[in-house]
Structures are given as structure tokens and as C-alpha cells.
Amino acid sequence: MGSGAEIKDLLTEILTSSEFCNVINNALSSRLTTTPAISPTVQVPTLPGRNTSETPPSSRMSMISSRIHEMFPSIPRARHSRSQSRNSSRGLTPFEKEVFLIKRKSCEETLKRNEKFDAFKDGYAKPAVKLYTQWKVGEIKQHLREVFQSVLTNTDFDFLMPVSGYLSKIDMEDLNGARLKALLRQKPLYLRPHVDLVQDDNDEGTFEETDYTMNDLEEFPDIRSLDDHTQNVNSFTLELQALHNKITESVTYFNVNREDIFLTCKLALQRKSFNPFNRLSVNFVDSDENTEGAIDGGGPSAEMFRLCMSYFLTSCLFDGNNESKNLTYCIEQLQANNYYYCGQIIGMSILHGFGGPNFISQALFDFLLYGIDGMAPNIDDVPEGTLKTILHTMHDCNDVVDLQNIILDEDMISISGWSFISDITEKEKLIADVCKFHVALRVRPALEQFESGLKSCEIHHLINKYPSDMKSLFCFTATKLTFSKMKELFSPVLNPQGSNLRSIENRVLGNYYNFVADCEADDLEVSLQDILIFTTGCRTIPPLGFKQTPTIEFLHNTTKIYPEASTCALVLKLPVIHTNYDAFKDNMIFGIGNGAVFGLQ
């Protein structure tokens, strides 16, 4: 007896043979006199560019099946085409999403009930669009274009998700169907086009008047400078300004010590009368309990928050490199509520106009934006140590047996939920799951405590509403060096005005500023970054700035022709012997370009 497949092939040959077709035609002729005869070669209308003069066996099989069904209704029609359709998506995991296509590119809020009804009526909404977890972002976009082809013009669009009544843009980098499903969960998907899809001459829009003026923002310089790429006051700046204006006339007194900045700040936060919206009065006390300076006029608050950020950067609350920190899980810190106080101090720093930490990782920011399901940490987010070494070994491994042995031998892998791997194609998912367990799920209590601290200052909702602007405050962004930035960064140490030495220093300083301007214009062999490295040892300005102000000094009473630098004291020492700019420039280029052997201390 042959196998099932052999029997099926034999039956197919019989049913599609010309002899069998003739037998069926003769049998049908007495029952269906109006039905045209079946032939192994049936003429059908010819489609452009396709030769269809001969019907393939599969089509003949379908015709015969239909004829038999007419004579014997109890016998179902063949389902060959449906089986093919199912087979084409075999191995893919589908999910369905309610999708709304927004008409206006400036829309920032979710649709209300009546607006949703109109969207469905006009074709701008679909109740159950089928997507697949294995699809990449390009495939998802292409499918959505086809779904909305009747109303979507030839323009690109962004993916958004609803968060507290507002629309939050979804980062499309490394996005796929699986992550999109995890981010949205039960929420609908919004599509926002880059151009308006409708034009209405009568729609002049609405504008909500505010009392804020440019003069008002002059009193809040740090907030005004958050968006360097525009001179206009955008909606994010205005909303942050409005939040700042909620600060009351009540005062919270901070008596802090530089040597124990976090503990002394917590004493103020733990008072029953504390409110993050109170005005701040910061008083620094040294180790001899002597007060430093007057009650806060702005500078002491900035210094306190800077010192707190510096403490957090190196504390046991965070782990990772200085440009991408994740929260740790420390039971003592959790019981002391320190993750909460950390989030609260960061929120207060932004609330009172002194900026953010600038060292939060993308994974931690994703938690604040999307929740724990939206986190997608990778190996770089895992703390240095045994686990990271194991993950790198797994990443380089291409043998499923070796991977299985690692799972069995290493508890840190098995506790992540994996006890068996059946195919090497599962390796990437295995690594991703292990990273998420150790960076996110295991640390969840600390994450939620940190988030609560931010919410106490009403900062968290701004992350949902303005993710790009808030990311620039939380995450590290390398500052582009410019002439203005370099001039602002270094403070010259000058002799008294009118002295002979001051006259020399003015001439040298002028040559130096011309040198910096030429470096910015790429007219020289050295760059602004080369000057920064020569003086500080850093390629970029650190997220929290330098611990002390870099200075410019002058090499008086010497015949030295090259610049010198002290990377520990952050001092750039300029030669004074050159009487013209060209000689100064040439020797600066040589000295900085050979900084490994000249001038560094």
C-alpha cells in the first residue's frame, strides 16, 4: 500500500487526465445539457502579458470538482486555493490592530468618540488590520499603505500610540511586528502623515492665548535654551514654563554638604512640609559647619543639582558607562526608598530649570515612555561581569548543542525562563529575553520606584507628550563643539588691566580666538576636538560638564614656543613669545598635533 502522498498524487493524475474528463462529460451530458463540455484544454479569456490558452491541471481539477458538486451537493468543492493561501503565511504569527489614519500632520491628541465614528465612515480607520510579528517595519508600512490606499497620498507617515489622551511617537529604529504588538498591547495604532491629507479653506485652526512673553522666558534661561535649533518658543518650552510657574511662595530649606550631597538633600525631602513645588533655599555647609555664601539666589541650587547628578552617575543606584546608565537592583537602596528620591531630585532639577541627568540609557528611557513591555535592552545594557561574558559567548556561538550546554550550566541564563533551545535560529530571542530579564524584569521594583519619584514633580507626563525633547534632557547627546562653546568653556586668567603683562595677554588671547575660529572653519590641520583633547583628555564635553572650569594661562618669563596643558587641572597654557599670528598658529598646530610628546602634564 502506498503512502498518503503517493495515493494523493495518483488520484490527481487520474482526475486531471483527458480520459477521465471524457467519462465525466458523457455522464454529465444527460444531467446538465446547458453546461459546456469539459476539456483538458479549456479556452479562457487572455490576460495582457499572460498566455492562458491552456488551463493548468489545478484549474481543471477545480472545474471538475465544481461540476461534481452540482450533481452531488453532499460532495464539497475542492479547497485547493484556500490551502495555498494558508500555506503562504505558514510560520507567521498574526495579530490584529485597530488602526487610525490622522488627517492632520500637527495632531497631537487621540481621537474622541465622534471623531472615531467619522474616521470609520470616511475610510480613515480600520477595525482589525492583520499584521504579523515577524514583519519588519518596511513590510508593516507597505501593508498599511495598501490598507489606506484610497485616502493615503504618496507621503510618509509616523507610528504613534495613545498615552493619557496624547499621541506618543514610536521609535521605528529596530521596530518589528513583535515589538509593535508588545508596545501597543490593547491600544490602537495611530498613523500621522508628514503632510495634511485634507484641505479646508475655512479651517483656520485654533490658538490658545497665553500670558507668556519672551521677557518672561528671560527669567528662565535654562528652559529657554532647551531647544537650540530654533529661536521660537515651542509648545514644549511653554508647557515646561507653565509647570515652572506652579512653583509656590513657600520655601524648602536645603542645608547641604558637598561631601555627602545625597544624604543631606534627603533630609529636606523627608520633611512633612516638603513639596517639590516650593521655592528652594540652598545653603552649603562645609565640614566645619560654616555656611557658604548667602541664601540661594539661583547659583547654589544649580550647584546642588549638579552635585546630585554627579553623585548619581557614580552611585550604586546606576550601572553602565557614563553615557548610558541603567538602574541596578539593590535591596538596601530599595528599602531606603532611594530610587524614589533619585527620581524626585531629577524631576525637581528639570522643574526648577536646571536640566536633566544626560546619562540615562535608551532602555531606561523606553521604560519611562512605554512601560516595561516596551523595553528592549541589549548586551551593552548588561552590567560588566560574568553574565555579559556569557552573553557574548552565546552571541558568537553557532552550535545549538553548545548553546544548550550553556543554558544547563549557567543559572543566570536558566532563571531567565529558558531551559531548552531546539534550533539555532532561536539564539537571538534567547539573548534578548535574558537581557530583558536581568535589565528590566528583575529590576522592576527599582524602576517603578524611580518612576514614582519623577511623577511627584509632574515631569513624567511630559515624557509621554514630548519624548524627543525630554530625551535630550535624560539621555546623553554629544555636544557639537563650536567657537562660541569653546570660548564659553575656557576662562582666561588675566593680569590687572593696564599692566604690561595684560597688554601681552590681550594680544595672545586675540591670536588664540582667531586660531579657534579657523579650527571651526576646518581651515587648519587640527580641530576643536583636538584642542579639547589636548587640554582635558576628553573627546567630548562630559554629560555633567567638567568638575572645574577649564582655564587659559600664559607662559610668561619663558622662551617656550609651543602650548602646554595640564589635563588634571584643566589648564591650557599659551606661548607669548610669538609676535604675529602666523607664527603663533604654526606652533599651536605643531604642539597640539604632537600632544602625546609635547606639553602634556
Catalytic annotation present for 308: no
Which residues, other chains included, contact 324 with Cβ-Cβ below 8 Å and sequence gap of 6+? 359, 360, 361, 362, 380, 381, 475, 476
Cβ–Cβ contacts within 10 Å for residue 395, how many? Answer: 12
Closest residue by Cα to residue 176 from 217, 132, 137 = 137
CA 35, CA 33: separation in Å to the nearest integer? 6
Taking Cα atoms as reference points, which of 314, 324, 316 lies closest to residue 380? 324
| Residue 455 neighbours by CB under 8 Å, 6+ apart | 347
One-letter identity of residue 158:
D
CA distance 371 to 463: 12
Residue position matching grid coordinates 602625546: 596
* Strand 491-492 versus strand 551-555 pairing type: parallel
Residue whose cell numbers read 461534481: 68
Q: Which residues pair with 600 in a beta bridge?
A: 565
Q: Taking the alpha carbons of 401, 406, 409, 413 in that order, is the dihedral positive or negative?
A: negative
The residue annotated as part of the active site, out of 265, 330, 457, 568, is 568
Measure Cα distances from 401 to 36, 84, 376, 391, 405 in Å. Answer: 62, 35, 27, 16, 6
With H, G, I as helix, E, B as strand and everything else as coil, classify residue 172.
coil
Instruction: Determine if residue 331 is left, alpha or beta; phi over 0 gives left, psi from -120 to 50 gives alpha, anything else beta.
Output: alpha
Q: What is the Cα 108 distance to its own chain's centre?
A: 19
Long-range CB pairs of 210-219, under 8 A, 24+ apart, other chains included: 210/238, 210/242, 212/238, 212/241, 212/242, 216/241, 217/241
421 closest CA partner among 431, 411, 123? 431
Beginning with the edge strand found earlier in the chain, give each strand of the sheet holding 189-193 in spatial order.
125-132, 94-101, 189-193, 157-163, 166-169
Dihedral sign, Cα of residue 438, residue 441, residue 446, residue 451: positive
Residues with a catalytic annotation lie at: 568
